[in-house]
Every structure is written in C-alpha cells, then in structure tokens.
C-alpha cells in the first residue's frame, strides 16, 4: 500500500470536518447555486470571506444558508472595527435563528490599512477585540450587557430575540498575542492561508495557553484555511495528504480554498474524501 493510499484510508474514516471556501473573487450572484451544489454533495462547511470592499459576510451567509438544508456556513472574518457590537449581535442572532446550528460567526481585527481607509482603525486592536467579542458573546447568550470599556460602551443592552442556540464564535489570529487572546475568548480560532503543519503546531500551543489561562473548561478548536490548486493531477491525494498533515499538527477542521484565478470551490467536489 502506498503512503497516499494509507493517507486516504485515514481521511475517509476521520471525523475531521472538511469545508470549502467561496472566495470573493467570485461574484455573489453565483453563491446560491454553489451552496446548493456543495450541500447536495455532502460537504460539511462552506466558508465566506468578508473583505473590504466586496461581499458582506452576513448577507452572503444568509443567502447561502437559506439556499441549503444541511450545510454549515462560516464567516471568516467580520472586522470588529466596522460594526457596533450591538448591531453585530442583532444581525448574527437573526441569521442564527433562521438556520439554527449552521452558522459560525467569525471575528477579527480586519486589515488595518482598510480600517484606516474607513476611519475605523483603533490604537489597540487587541483591546477592541477583547471588549467586542466578550460583549457579543454575552448578548448572544441572552444577557443584559453593561460595559464602559476603552472602545465598547453599552448600557443595559439585551437582545429581544437571542438565538436559542448561540452560534460558534471563531476568532481570526496570526500573531502570538492575538492567538493567545483568541484561545482565551473563542470557541475556535481561524488560521488563514496556512499550508505548513509546523505553523499549525506552533499556533496550537499558544491557543492552548490562552484557553488554560481563561479558566474555561474544554479546548478551543483550531480551524485552518489552506489553499490547494485544483488543477493538475493527483488532486485527491494532495487534499488527503494536506488535511492529514494539518490534522496531525492540531487542526480540528480544515477549509480548502482554490487560488484567486480559479476560485470555484466545486472543482474539489469529486476529489474530497467521503
């Protein structure tokens, strides 16, 4: 048995969720049909970008969720400087109620240059992220929130219709301080554009430190976006090998994205293990 064959057997029996990414290089009017095709094929998750100044993450997620029956949809990522946390919680709660258990809400710093373009860049992105995610989580869990932080100010705010099942909150992170904070605050951490298992292994250790410091029980999951070109031979083996390497390094879920010049995620369907 070859190494690739052995890897394929491990992946076929693995519970590791494998998702696909709908890049903003594709126009939003293509999203509903792509989502339906992925849903019919049994893909676990569809992931969306929210990049300035392209598709909105929450509107895109709503379109994908309402076009499908089973598919989970993740937003990676909503830049926290762009939305008041009360508004973010209202919108996330609405989408979560429309598709219970199928939304993953992702938050992150945003690209700092873009945040500067819209007048939203802050002096301490880490402080904002901490205050913001803490407030949004509390609102989604039905709490009344009073906070007077450096950036987040809420007085007696509570959602009128919080979701019965609050969605998973994932936090995008790259550098050690954000990885540690994301491990502390998030249900999961999203690592973007990772192709090297050693990067996942190093991030996993820092994320675990953050979770331990938080005192929260359990483990913060690690989600990984990884790019694979669907063109060329041996696609099934390349996917299986990459996913197995990332899983061995500590990834709990993997989302595969195609390159910008060939962004259609349906190119991977026939090659996914299953």
More confident site: 151 or 11: 151
DSSP state of 70: S
Strand partners, 106: 170
**What does the pLDDT average to over 70-82?**
97
Percent of the chain with pLDDT over 90: 92
pLDDT at position 273 is 86
The predicted model gives 221-231 an average pLDDT of: 98
Rounded mean pLDDT, 210-226: 96
- Does this model's pTM top 0.85? My answer is yes
Q: What does DSSP say about strands 145-148 and 153-157: parallel, antiparallel, or unpaired?
A: antiparallel
Q: Torsion angle, CA of 160/161/166/167, rounded to 10 degrees?
A: -110
Q: Can you tell me the mean pLDDT for 64-91?
A: 98
Residues 6+ apart with CB under 8 A from 211: 183, 184, 218, 219, 220
pLDDT for the residue numbered 10: 37
What confidence score (pLDDT) does residue 15 get? 63
Residues 45, 228: Cα–Cα separation, whole Å: 17
What is residue 119's predicted lDDT score, i.e. its pLDDT? 97
24 pLDDT exceeds 90? Answer: yes
Per-residue pLDDT averaged across 47-64, rounded? 96
Identify the pLDDT of residue 8.
Answer: 38
Q: What is the mean pLDDT of residues 103-118?
A: 97
Q: For 104-124, what is the mean pLDDT?
A: 97
The rounded Cα 265 to chain-centroid distance in angstroms is: 16
Q: Residues 6 or more apart from 74 whose CB is under 8 A from it?
A: 19, 45, 46, 47, 48, 61, 103, 104, 105, 106, 170, 223, 255
Give 164-179 pLDDT, tens digit per residue: 999 999 999 999 999 9
pLDDT at 12: 39
Tell me whether the omega of the peptide bond preceding residue 80 falls within 30 degrees of 0, making it cis. no
Average pLDDT score over residue span 135-149: 98
Rounded Cα distance between 155 and 168, Å, is 25
The pLDDT value recorded for residue 193 is 87
- 44's CB contacts (< 8 A; 6+ apart) are 17, 18, 19, 71, 72, 253
Q: Looking at residues 89-110, what average pLDDT do you find?
A: 98
Rg of the chain, C-alpha, whole Å:
18
Q: Give CA–CA dist 42/2, Å, rounded.
A: 27
Other C-beta atoms lying within 10 Å of the C-beta of residue 189: 29
Mean pLDDT of 113-128: 97
Catalogue the E-assigned strands of 28-179: 45-48, 72-79, 103-108, 145-148, 153-157, 168-172
Calculate the average pLDDT of the chain. 94
Q: Which string of DSSP letters, residue by residue, matches 139-205?
A: HHTT--EEEE-SS-EEEEE--SS--SSPPEEEEE--SHHHHHHHHHH-SEEEEPS---HHHHHHHHH
Where does 3-265 sit in CATH, by number?
3.20.20.30
Residues of the chain with pLDDT > 70: what percent? 94
Dihedral of CA 132/133/138/142: which sign?
positive
Closest CA to 191 of 103, 95, 257, 101: 257
What is the pLDDT confidence band of residue 195, given thresholds at 50, 70 and 90?
confident
């Amino acid at each position: 048995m070859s190494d690739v064959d052995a890897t394929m057997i491990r992946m076929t029996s693995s519970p590791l969720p494998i998702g696909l990414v709908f890049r903003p290089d594709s126009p939003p009017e293509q999203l509903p049909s792509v989502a339906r095709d992925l849903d019919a094929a049994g893909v676990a998750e569809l992931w969306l970008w929210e990049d300035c100044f392209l598709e909105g993450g929450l509107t895109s997620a709503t379109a994908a969720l309402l076009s499908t029956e089973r598919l989970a949809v993740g937003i990676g990522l909503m830049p926290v400087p762009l939305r008041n946390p009360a508004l973010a919680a209202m919108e996330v709660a609405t989408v979560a109620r429309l598709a219970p258990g199928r939304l993953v809400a992702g938050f992150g710093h945003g690209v700092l240059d873009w945040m500067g373009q819209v007048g939203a860049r802050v002096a301490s992105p880490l402080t904002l992220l901490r205050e913001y995610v803490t407030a949004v989580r509390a609102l989604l869990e039905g709490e009344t929130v009073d906070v007077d932080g450096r950036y987040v100010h809420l007085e007696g705010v509570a959602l009128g219709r919080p979701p019965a099942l609050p969605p998973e909150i994932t936090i995008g992170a790259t550098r050690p301080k954000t990885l540690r904070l994301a491990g502390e605050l998030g249900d999961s951490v999203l690592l973007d554009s990772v192709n090297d298992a050693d990067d996942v292994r190093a991030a996993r250790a820092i994320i675990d430190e953050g979770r331990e410091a938080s005192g929260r029980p359990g483990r913060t999951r690690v989600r990984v976006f990884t790019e694979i070109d669907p063109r060329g031979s041996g696609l099934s083996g390349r996917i299986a090998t990459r996913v197995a390497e990332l899983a061995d390094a500590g990834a709990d879920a993997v989302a595969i994205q195609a390159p910008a010049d060939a962004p259609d995620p349906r190119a991977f369907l026939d090659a996914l293990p299953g």
